[in-house]
Every structure is written in C-alpha cells, then in structure tokens.
Amino acid sequence: MSTKTTRFVKIALIACALTLIIAACAPAPTAVPAPTQPAAAAATQPAATVAPTAPPAPKPTDTPAKPVDIELWAQATSTQAPAPPDDWVGYKTIREKLNLNLKYVIIPTGQDGETKINAAAAANALPDFFQAVSTTNARNKVIDLNKQGLIAPVDDLLKLMPNRAKTHYNNPASLAMAKIDGKQMAFVEVPNLPRREGVVIRKDWLDKLGLKMPTTMDELFAVAKAFTEKDPDGNGKNDTYGLGGFFDGTWGQGNRFAFFFGAYGVPDTWDWDNTSNFGLAVRNPNFYKALVEFRKWNESKVIDPDWATINRDEFRIRWPQGRYGIMWEDFCALACVANYPKFDNNFPNGEWVALPTMKGAVAKPYYNSYGGLGSFFAVSKKAADAGKGPAIAKLLEWMASPEGYYLLGFGVEGVNYKLDKNGAVTTDGLSDPTKAWNHESMARFTQMRNQLIYDNNPNEVLARYPDFVTDKSKKPMSPMAFYKFFSTQTWQDSTAGNLIVNPSNRADLQRFYNENFQAFALGTKPLTEQTWADFLKALDANVKANAWEESARKNLQDAGILKK
Amino acid sequence: MSQYAGTPAVARVRRARAKPDVPLAMRVQRLARAMWKHRWYYLLLIAPLTYYLIFRYIPIWNAQIAFKDFFALKGVEGSPWVGLQHFEAFFNSFYFSELIVNTVIFSLARLILGMPIAIILALAIHESRFLFFRSLVQTVTYLPHFLSWVIMLGLLLGLLSPSSGMINEMIKAAGGQPIAFLTSTAWFRQVVVLSDIWKETGWSTILYLAALLGISPDLYEAAEVDGASRWRRIWHISLPGIVPVIVLITLLRLGNILDVSFQQIWVLYSVPVYSVGDIIDTWVYRSGVLDFQFSLATAVGLFKGVIGLILILVANSVAKRVAQQSLF
Amino acid sequence: MFRSTNRDEWGFQLFVNGLLLIVLLIIVIPLWRVIMTSLTPLDVYMRGGTPMFQWPWEWSFAAYEQMLTHPTFPRATLNSVIITLCGTALSLFLTVPLAYALSARTLPGRRLIIALILFTFLFHVGLIPVYLLVAKTLGWTNNILAIIVPPAVGVTNVLVMMRFFEGIPEEIKESARMDGANDLQVLWRIVLPLSKPILLTIGLFYAVHYWNEFFTPILYLNDQNLQPLPVLLRNILIGQNFSEYVDYDVSRAASIESLKSSAVLLTMLPMVLVYPWIQRYFTKGTLLGGVKE
C-alpha cells in the first residue's frame, strides 16, 4: 500500500493551500502614477538635481530630468470623500509643471491620525512632507519629533517661496509657535478663519415672552430662567432649556461655556491678564465668582443637565430640535447653507441672533479666548537628507500660485468653477452643475484645500460661505454676518498657550482639575471660600499644579512673552 | 471527573512521571522514542510555532523599550536604558490604586455575572424543542455583538438620558425624580456591566452551545431511560459536559483581569464618573495623548502581564485540584 | 424516584421557551430602534428623534444610499472580503494543527509549548513593538499581509479547539491508527469531519474579527485602494462630524445617527446571512453523532 505517497500528496496539498493563500492575499505592487516620459529616456538621463529656484515653467518634453518623488501625508478636507484618483489632473499637472511625482496619503482625523504619525515616527518611516497632527498641542508634537531628530529645519525653504510667505506665512506670531532653538521646525498654515464662534439667542422666544435682549449676566440669567420655565415654544411641554452646551474634553469649563467665564474676565485655562504672576485662571478670584454663578445656573436647572455627558453630535441634534434658547456655536455650523436648514425646517419662525459680550460682572470682560493655529507641516529629516527640500518648497510655492491655488482649491476652470468679472469664484453658468467644485462628488479633487491651499482672501471666503435664502421660510441668511459680529468682539489672546509644554503627569492633573470643577459646578461638592481654597491647595499637593505653572512661566519667558 | 482522566495514554504518562529513579540514559531513550512516535505532531507544529516566534516573540523582544528611553533613530537595541522609570510613572499616578480597583471590579463583575447568564442562556437554547424559535433566538441574541459602542451610547442615551430618556420618562410619569444614570457615581458601574451583558451574552453562548453539542446524545438517552428529569439531566450531563470550556474561559479571563473593554468605558464615561469608571487602559490612553507614549504603554502592558501571570498560575492550580481541569 | 412525564416535559418547555422569549424581547427592542434610526428621514429625526414605529412608506433609505453610492464602496467591500477570507483561512490553517498537536496529552514538550503560548496571551506589549516588527523588520507597509498575518492566531481559540479535540474519544483515533493511518491522516480523515461545529465556531470568530478590523488598516495601509469597508464607513461618519468646516453643499439627506446605524447594519449583514448556514451544522449535532459505543 502506498501510504507514503498519500502522505506526500496530503502535505503537498496543504503546502499548496498555504502558497495560494499567501499569493492571493499579497497585493499587486501599488500603482505609482506612470511617468509621462518613456522609461528608457528617463533611464538614460543622469539624475539631475532640481535647481532650488527653478521657476514652475513648463518643462521642455524632449530633455526631462528624473522626477522627484514626494510623499505627502495630510488630513482630508472632507473625510468622507476619497483621496484623489491616480489619474487626477492635479497629479498630472504637478508632474508636468514641477517634475514631481506627488503621492498624497490621507491621514485620519483625531487620535487615529496622531497614532499613525507616531507609529511611523517610531519606525523612522515618516513620509517626506507631513502634517504634524496632534489632538492636544501641535507644538508639543513638533518638539517631540525634533527631540527624536526626525524632522529638518525649514528656514532655508521659506526663502524659496516668496509668494507663499506673503499669503500663508505672514503671521510671525503663529510661525513662532513652530520655532525651536531659533530654528523653524515646521510651517504653520493659515487657520480656518479665527474667532469664528459666538453666543446666539432665540429672538423668537424673547419676543414671545416679551423679554428684551440681555446685556448683563444677571439679565442673561433671568432670560435663561424664563426660557426654561415659561414654555417659550408654546408646545405645552416643559422640554426647553435656557442654555445648551457640552463639555469638549479639554479643561474645566471647556470652549462651550468659556463665554460664561469670559464675562468674568477668565475665559481661558490660563490667566493671561496677570502678567506679573502668571498662572492658572483658577487662582484668579474672579474665577471663583464665575464658578459660583455657573453653579447657580446648574442648580436652577436652566442648563441642559446632560452637558457633562453628551458630545458635539448630540448637541447638534438638540439645538435644531428647539431644545435650547442660548448657546455657544460656530458661525458655519449655525448658519451655513449645509447646516441651517435642519433648524429652519423645524422652526420656520425661529430666529437666532448674536449676543455681544455680557457686561456687569467685572470691569474687563471677554467674549472668549482664541489661540487656534492652522495645521503644522514638517519636512522629515530623511527627505531633507535626500535633498528633497527644494522640491517640497517648489510644490508649496506652486500651490500658492494662481495656477496651483485654483486647481487644488476649486478644480478646473470652466468645468468645476468660473470666475466672475470681479474675480470671485462662482458656480453660476456651469454646463454640468453636478461638477461644481462645491458639489459633494467633487470633494475628492480638492482634498488639500483646507490644509495647504486656502488663505482666507475675501473672494475665497465669499465662495466658501455664501449668503442664501432658506427653502422653508424663505429667509435670507448670511453666515458671514454672524462671523463678522463674532470676530469683532473683545477676545482674549491665548495664542501663547501653545508654547506651554504639557507636564508629564498631564493626565492626572487634568482629571483632578476637571473632576473637581464639575463637582463644584454640578453641586455634588459644596462650594465655599473654604472648599475652594482647599481645592487650590490640593491642586499643588496632589497633582503638582504649581510645578506646571512654574514651567509654563519659564516656557513663556524663554519665548519672550513674559518678562523674566 | 474529567473525561480524559481515564484514558490509557494519560495513565501511562502519570505512571512514567511517578518513577523518578529511572536512570537518565533510559529516560532520554524513552523521551526520544516518545518524540519519534509523535513526529507527525511536530510536523504540524512547525508552521504555528514559527508564527509564534515571529509575530509574538519578536514583539516581546521589542517590548524592552518599556525599560528604555526609546529613540526612533537608534532603534530598539540602541536606545538607552532608563530602568523602571516608565513603570514608576504609572505607579506614581495619583489615581493608581483607584484605577486598579475600578478595572478589577469591572472584570470580576463581567466574570461573575456575565458568564452564568451566558451559560443559562446556552442551556435554555439547547433544551428548547422548537427548532425555529431556538435558531431565531440564537441569531438575534448574537447580533448586538456587532453594535459598536458609539451606537450603544446612542441607544443608552435614548433610554437613560435624564432629559429625554425612556426610562426617565417612566420615572417622571410615576412621579419620581429623573436619575442621571450615566453621570451618577451610584449608577455608572451598573450601566457599564449591564450594557456589556446585553451586548455580549448572546455572542458568548456560541462557545457553550458548541460544547453542549459535543456531548454524546447516548448519555441523554441513557439518562432518559433511567428516568432522570430534565433538570437532573442538565445538572448531571449538560453542565459537566461544558465544565472544561467554563474552566478554560474563566482561567483565560483571570489572566486578562486587568483588561476591560476599553472602547466601552471610553465612550460611556465622563468627568463626573471618573472616580468609578476610570480604568487602566483609559488612563494610558489619556496619558499617551501627551507625547510619544510608546514606552509607557508598553510598561503598563508588561505590568498587566505580570499580574495576569500570577493570577493564572494560582487559578490553574486551584482548578486542577477542584475541577481536575488545567491549562497545562 | 423522579419520573419524567409528558406534563413535566410540557412545563419544562414552557419555562425554557418563556425565558428565551423574554431574552428575545430584551434584545429585539433596542435593535429595532437601531433599524428604525437608520430609516428615519432627516426632517422627522430633526423634529423629535427616532419614532418607535414608522410605516414602510415613511422610510428613508438616504443613509444607505449615501453609503452604497460612495465611489470607493465596491473596492472597499472587495478588500474586506479578501481580508476576511484569506485571514480566516490562514487563521484556521495555523490554529487547527496547533490545537490538534497540543490535544495529544502524551506529546513531549506539550506543557512547555502551552506555557509559551499563554505567555504571549498575558503580555500585551502595545502598539509600537508590533508596529516595529511589521513595518520596519518585515517592511509590510501598504501591504495587506500586515492586516492578515499578525493577528492570525488567537490563544483562546487555540485552547478552546484543543479542548474539543481532546474530547474526541481516543478509541476512534486508535481504530484509525490500527488501519495504518498516521496522525496527519487521523486529523484529516477522522478528527476534522467530527469537528465541524467547532471549526465553524472558531472560523466565525476569526472572520468577524477580520471583517470588523479598522485600526490596523489605518495604521499600515496608505493606498486608499487597499482600505477595507470599516475604514470607509468610519471616514463617512467622521466626515459628518465636522460640519462647520464643510463649506460646500453636502447632500444632507440623512442624519448622522441614521448614518451610524445604517453603517452598523450594513457591516452586520454578511454575518447575518452566514450565520443561519453555520447554524445548520450546530443543530445537527454533528460531533459524535455517528459514534456507536
């Protein structure tokens, strides 16, 4: 009997199965966009280095240099849309005009994206040029990457892009946030319109209850109480709250209730007005006053009690349902054509109006604090060592040139957008409206625009946040009117907060701070002068807040923000 | 009694082990003979053990970064040693003992409550005579396993929110004060444990059901002939039949006692319930956000491993004595 | 003496099925809500959340439409299918021999091997040690092997399968050996045909793991043509979160809650379809059914 033969057949079968599995699963080599010139021609040419100052002029096609490969990692403008396809006209143009093979990899938003960058950094596998994403502090990320020796200074590259420096890198204060030991370690891009949020109130509810616009914190409380208790929507149910919001996971009051503390002069975690003895805002007696008031609001149940649990999604489901009378919201999330109709459909007679800074509590109230920066982009050390720096500069400069700006920000002229006689971007008169640059299906072709392309020029802002008339109530809406109102209020500048390096026990410190803040605010812990003083002492004793304040002062002194 | 204890092979090994005075040469010879006898088994082991060597032991080698200040450019071996610094960062946390307590409470609750419920459900499904109904129950109960915790949060808010949740509406209708289940330190743990049971019980019955199907129908027939009641048959045949799986799962769960479903806590907890809800993994995650977390996360992983190792060794010897079952 | 009568049996069945009915309701009601949420039209949802019941003609499939018409949906589904099939095949290919070899109680070195395997189960070394191996040592960046191979063997699954193999009576294997079969042939001809329920169970566990995996693809894969379905669905959902930066005209036909729910139901679907087929093997009592004492 040939049992041996059978054995071998069986083993062979299993081996085959394994080979098949591996073979079936191993992907085909990633499709790299094919170079336009024949491979043979490219191979015969010596690998010419790209001249740093080479103008983005059309290349003669008969003597092409070998294209430089640039891998770019950046977040997407619309995460739900895919990355541009391999045959995208943008890649083609960049290859023809700049002699670059660009490969754009989308990194996920939030923690996932940061983990991806961190992991790549740990394996020394960072791409040539990438967005240094961070969920807490982008400067900290740049410091870490620099400490690891993984990124290269970009001072020399800045000189290679005179036009982009004017449109994108024109704010020395924000550029300084990516400076380490006098060297520019990353580019700081343009933020997505600063100071864009504000307080809004339901004007229709005020009118129904015969109340006037509040101007002080006391009046605001009276209005919030009436909104909660007097059935402002007239539906016969006790289902409304004066103030809505949520905890955004940062420090203490977070961004949504910062206006409340701003009325007491302490909108931020840090007490920026106290330059002589700079420290945490909780040290300021006004913070205690604000907290006492905030607790009163909570105990009177005029704030949606879910605020400590719900997230932004839930918040943005609740206000269009008419649950809140007052809230802190982003102008576009409130009033843009993509967002406002949700509210308008439910309440055609509803109307939100902006509220200015609340007066009366302290002499110098603030609307809120602002410290947001645009995204940070860094060049990896590996890419710099391979001489790719000038190529990256060339790409960035081209992105700020009219050709690159319109192509990557809006698409192809005549197909995706048109320019009117004032030079403003419009979609009127396009032969195929589904090809308009702001149509969802076109989003994949302008994925880089929020990160690297837009510079907030007036024409661009008009195109991005157009006025419109609502479908249901036929009301004219102007998102930019809200923006103009919000951004011209008195804001506290906390940009320098980005310079403060996180303490090594940040997780504990932040938890201790937030836990106590919410216990005081929600009334689960008695709030008196004594318990508050005990809390401030415990901050130092238990989680070393004083050590952090000390190092924060040093960070700011080193940067020349505070005097020594 | 274990169902293997009586097999001749096991008895032979026990006898061999009981004679330590056999000369070394003879023992080596015996071992070689035993190994040759099992040559086909070793052939089978080649692929899986290679896998383990590469995909499990190389990472464990890389885990030395827990004792190092990891520098990407220098690699794992080249980075400087820093001793127990990263472990200390964890032990010195102001919340260290609370994190351990919370983690263990969730773990044990799941084991002590979740497992019996899953076993009862599996037995009930197994005993039901209505074939269609029982496959319906089986299919439906395992579906929640696929709901992510983000969806679960939506469901729980719909039920438990103090302002609009269904349960709170009922409490209000009955004249009571609404309860903030998700932000109350008195209720948060119950919500976590019960929602986990709701989500995972059906899925975990699959193993017990498969075990129940492994019991020879002859045993049931014999018991029926003897006139044993349904309850007796469950007690004397079904349960003993799945004891090996129960012991196995319990031991493994104990080994991972410091691992609790991170996703669940991360989605459900909030600042007011940190004191009863914060677990090791959420702490690591929050700490890790801060900078290059690699070494700290690895150090905590090793710490959890040490605790798990001790527990599993103890539990294994207990199981050996009490249930004549062991992992190895 | 306790004798089973028809009445006992009837009462017992009433109790057992009553229990199952209660469990069924506890599970079904919230699940029903998920289904309804996925079908609730945006305007209804924005007015007052998800109603418990809606007539079929009031349903809106906008959320499903948005998912299914995404340009990379077919590609992502294909990737997921490839990852799931290859991953499950590889997992079983490694798990079955390991479990079978370890089920031989007389195997010299058995305890050592189990200890070595358990050791890796206890020590979770975190992300970076594995990443360094996969991306740096093996160079599997942008390669779906990085998704398929590293998680291929689960210790729990190995041990559970081992327990089942141990439960197969020695006599059956012995009789095959008498006929001249070696241990490989015993595994192939005798043990595996008897182990269909456990093979399917463990196979299902592996398949579900691979089907739902989204983190390693995000980590290791850069090319969007390789991304599987869970990553795509996640991107769609996250996209809805950033509405203040979405300054173009998104088709907002579905609420984010509908999208979330429909994404979950879509990912569930293949498993729902596969499970009844697996169940056939469960109810037949394949294992040991043919053994005559």
* Rounded distance between C-alpha atoms, residue B150 and residue B167, angstroms: 20
- The verdict on a CB contact (< 8 Å) between C244 and A333 is yes
* pLDDT at res. A32: 40
The domain boundary residue, chosen from A477, A500, A523: A500
Within a domain: A328: yes
* pLDDT at res. A272: 95
* Rounded distance between C-alpha atoms, residue B242 and residue C167, angstroms: 11
- B62 to chain A, any CB pair closer than 8 A? The answer is no
* pLDDT at res. A116: 92
Domains contained in chain A, number: 2
* Rounded distance between C-alpha atoms, residue B35 and residue B37, angstroms: 5
* pLDDT at res. A36: 38
Closest to A375 (Cα-Cα) out of A524, A517, A169: A169
Helix or strand run (H / E) with residue A531: helix A529-543
* pLDDT at res. A17: 56
* pLDDT at res. A312: 82
- The token pair that represents A208 in the structure block: 């129904």
Q: By the 8 A CB rule, do B103 and B183 touch?
A: no
Closest to A441 (Cα-Cα) out of A462, A422, A475, A415: A415
Burial code of A101-119, b = ≥16 C-beta within 10 A, e = fewer?
bbbbbbbbbeebbbbbbbb
Pairing mode, strands A476-477 and A468-469? antiparallel
Alpha-carbon dihedral angle through residues A240, A242, A248, A253, given to the nearest 10 degrees: -150
* pLDDT at res. B9: 52
Instruction: Please tell me whether residues A349 and A391 are part of one structural domain.
Output: no
Instruction: Please tell me whether residues A57 and A90 are part of one structural domain.
Output: yes
Rounded to the nearest 10 degrees, the angle between the axes of helix B115-127 and helix C6-39 is 120
The domain boundary residue, chosen from A356, A383, A402: A402
* pLDDT at res. A441: 83
Within a domain: A515: no
Phi, psi of B151 (to 5 degrees): -65, -40
- A314 to chain B, any CB pair closer than 8 A? The answer is yes
Residue range(s) defining the domain that contains residue A290: 197-370+491-500
- B201 in helix, strand or coil? helix
Instruction: Please tell me whether residues A104 and A92 are part of one structural domain.
Output: yes
Sign of CA dihedral B288, B293, B294, B298: negative
The domain boundary residue, chosen from A476, A500, A524: A500
* Rounded distance between C-alpha atoms, residue A464 and residue C144, angstroms: 38
Instruction: Please tell me whether residues A225 and A283 are part of one structural domain.
Output: yes
A522: nearest CB among B72, B164, B272: B272
Phi, psi of B45 (to 5 degrees): -80, -15
List all residues of chain A from 170 to 229 with a beta carbon under 8 Å from chain C.
Answer: 192, 196
Pairing mode, strands A376-380 and A151-152? antiparallel
- A198 in helix, strand or coil? strand
Choose, out of B87, B183, B271, the residue to mutate when testing the contact with A (most A CBs < 10 Å): B271
* pLDDT at res. A553: 95
Rounded (to 5) percent helix, strand, coil in chain B: 75, 0, 25
* pLDDT at res. C240: 59
* Rounded distance between C-alpha atoms, residue C89 and residue C77, angstroms: 18
Q: Could you tell me the CA-to-CA distances from C161 to A54, B4, C92, C168, C200 in Å, in that order?
A: 65, 15, 10, 11, 11
Domains in chain C, CATH or no CATH each: 6-60 (no CATH), 65-284 (1.10.3720.10)
Phi, psi of C250 (to 5 degrees): -75, 145
Sign of CA dihedral A383, A385, A387, A389: positive
- The token pair that represents A336 in the structure block: 């843009």
- A71 in helix, strand or coil? strand
Pick the CATH number of B90-323 from 3.30.360.10, 3.20.10.10, 1.10.3720.10, 3.40.50.1100: 1.10.3720.10
- C28 to chain B, any CB pair closer than 8 A? The answer is yes
- The HSE-up count of residue B308 (CA atoms within 13 Å, CB side) is 26
Distance to chain A for B278, nearest Cα, Å: 10
A202: β partners: A352
C257 band by pLDDT with thresholds 50, 70 and 90: confident
Q: By the 8 A CB rule, do B276 and B188 touch?
A: yes
* Rounded distance between C-alpha atoms, residue B210 and residue C201, angstroms: 7
* CATH classification of the domain holding A300: 3.40.190.10
Q: Residues of C with CB below 8 A from A437's CB?
A: 248
Within a domain: A422: no
Q: Left (φ > 0), alpha (ψ -120 to 50) or beta: where does B87 sit?
A: alpha
Within a domain: A33: no
* Rounded distance between C-alpha atoms, residue B316 and residue B327, angstroms: 7
* pLDDT at res. A199: 96
pLDDT, tens only, C102-151: 998 889 999 999 999 999 988 888 888 999 999 999 999 999 999 999 99
ipTM above 0.95 for this complex: no
Instruction: Please tell me whether residues A210 and A347 are part of one structural domain.
Output: yes
- The token pair that represents C185 in the structure block: 């042939």
Within a domain: A241: yes
Cβ pairs bridging B and C (under 8 Å): 283
- For residue A192, give the chain C residue with the closest CA: C245
Q: Residues of A with CB below 8 A from B300's CB?
A: none
- A320 to chain C, any CB pair closer than 8 A? The answer is yes
A443: nearest CB among C237, C248, C256: C248
Instruction: Please tell me whether residues A183 and A227 are part of one structural domain.
Output: no
Within a domain: A231: yes
- For residue B276, give the chain A residue with the closest CA: A515
Instruction: Please tell me whether residues A237 and A338 are part of one structural domain.
Output: yes
Low-confidence ranges of chain B (pLDDT < 50): 1-7
* pLDDT at res. A24: 52
Instruction: Please tell me whether residues A56 and A183 are part of one structural domain.
Output: yes
- C73 to chain A, any CB pair closer than 8 A? The answer is no
- B90 to chain A, any CB pair closer than 8 A? The answer is no
Instruction: Please tell me whether residues A251 and A386 are part of one structural domain.
Output: no
- The verdict on a CB contact (< 8 Å) between B163 and A305 is yes
Closest to C70 (Cα-Cα) out of C236, C205, C226: C236
Cite the DSSP H helix spans in A250-357: 258-262, 285-299, 312-318, 331-335, 341-346
Distance to chain B for A118, nearest Cα, Å: 7
Distance to chain A for B222, nearest Cα, Å: 40
The ranges assigned to domains in chain B are 90-323
Cβ-in-10-Å burial (0-12, 13-18, 19+) of A530 comes to exposed
- The verdict on a CB contact (< 8 Å) between C93 and A24 is no
Closest to C240 (Cα-Cα) out of A406, A199, B150: B150
Instruction: Please tell me whether residues A227 and A337 are part of one structural domain.
Output: yes
Distance to chain A for B129, nearest Cα, Å: 41
Q: Please state the three-class secondary structure of B76-123 as a single string.
A: HHHCCECCCHHHHHHHCCCCHHHHHHHHHHHHHHHHHHHHHHHHHHHH
pLDDT by 10s per residue, chain A, length 564 = 345 545 544 554 455 455 555 555 554 444 344 333 333 333 334 433 444 444 444 444 445 678 999 999 999 888 878 899 999 999 999 999 999 999 999 998 878 888 899 999 999 999 999 999 988 788 889 998 999 999 999 999 999 999 999 999 998 888 999 999 999 999 999 888 889 999 999 999 999 999 999 999 999 999 999 999 999 988 888 889 999 999 987 899 999 999 999 999 999 999 999 989 999 999 999 999 999 999 999 999 999 988 887 888 788 888 988 999 999 999 988 998 888 888 898 899 999 999 999 988 888 999 999 988 889 999 999 999 999 999 999 999 999 999 999 999 999 999 999 998 888 888 888 888 888 888 878 888 999 998 999 998 888 888 888 888 988 889 999 999 999 999 999 999 999 998 998 888 888 999 999 999 999 999 889 999 999 999 999 999 999 999 999 999 999 998 888 887
A503: β partners: none
* pLDDT at res. C216: 92
- The verdict on a CB contact (< 8 Å) between C70 and A82 is yes
* pLDDT at res. B288: 67
- The token pair that represents B244 in the structure block: 């090996």
- The token pair that represents A347 in the structure block: 């309440």
- The token pair that represents C272 in the structure block: 């729902």
Within a domain: A254: yes
Q: Could you tell me the CA-to-CA distances from B294 to B54, B65, B301, C121, C128 in Å, in that order?
A: 20, 8, 11, 20, 6
Q: Please state the three-class secondary structure of B266-279 as a single string.
A: HHHCCHHHHHHHCC
